[in-house]
Amino acid sequence: MEDSSSLLRSRQKQDKFISKLGHYLFDAGKQAVLIHRLAHFFYRSNLTLVASLLRRINIILTGADIHPGAKFGKKVEMIHSVGVVIGEHVVVEDFCEIYGGVVLGGRGGTIEVDGQPRIGSNTVICSGAIVLGPISVGENVTVGAGSVVLQSVPDNSLVAGVPATIKKRTERTASTTNKER
């Protein structure tokens, strides 16, 4: 016969699983990242037709257009997925947050000349921000809402404006930010 504490632990595990499942069933941001990861797997496996189909499904279900070639690190979160557009060669490193209406990509030229951005760990890209070209956004950066970033951004910065400029240097560190999640 099980004691009440083991029954309680079992119930808590079940509740946690159901809660997590609910997040993936009803949170468009989590769905967008999950579908992208699946599309990226097929893209890397050279099954580009399946990857393209998953990309279209992602657009229809979540409103996010993420090229299957884009690379996401661990714990990348989309807070709002609608209107997010991410190009083929974009790299988003670990523990980043992306809000609605964000565009990450090239400036319209060839990839050899134009390039696409690399987003460092622990970066927050706020609603409507546009990050374009062969630039690097450092670690622990906040890109303000509606900003247009066309030049590389150093670590521990807050950038905002059109074109974006450094508004503040922050002391946020990766270990501090990761503990908050």
Write out the two tokens for 99: 């809000």
Residue that the structure tokens 């809402």 belong to: 145
Write out the two tokens for 63: 């409103």
Lay out the sheet containing 157-160: strands in order across.
77-78, 97-98, 124-125, 142-143, 157-160, 165-169
Task: Return the pLDDT at 61.
Answer: 95
Number of domains within the chain: 1
Q: 100-110, pLDDT tens digit by residue? A: 999 999 988 66
Task: Return the pLDDT at 153.
Answer: 95
Write out the two tokens for 109: 């030229």
Domain encompassing residue 110: 4-180
Q: How far apart are CA 167 and CA 171, in angstroms?
A: 14
- CATH (domain of 18): 2.160.10.10
Q: 112-148, pLDDT tens digit by residue? A: 667 899 999 999 999 999 999 999 999 999 999 999 9
CB atoms near residue 49 (< 10 Å): 8
CB-based contacts of 37: which residues, under 8 Å, 6+ apart?
A: 72
Whole-structure pTM value:
0.81
Task: Return the pLDDT at 76.
Answer: 96
Sign of CA dihedral 44, 47, 50, 55: positive
Residue that the structure tokens 């991410």 belong to: 86
Write out the two tokens for 44: 């890397």
Averaged in consecutive runs of 10 residues, what is the pLDDT profile of the chain (181 residues)? 64 68 77 96 97 97 96 95 95 96 87 81 97 95 96 95 88 55 49
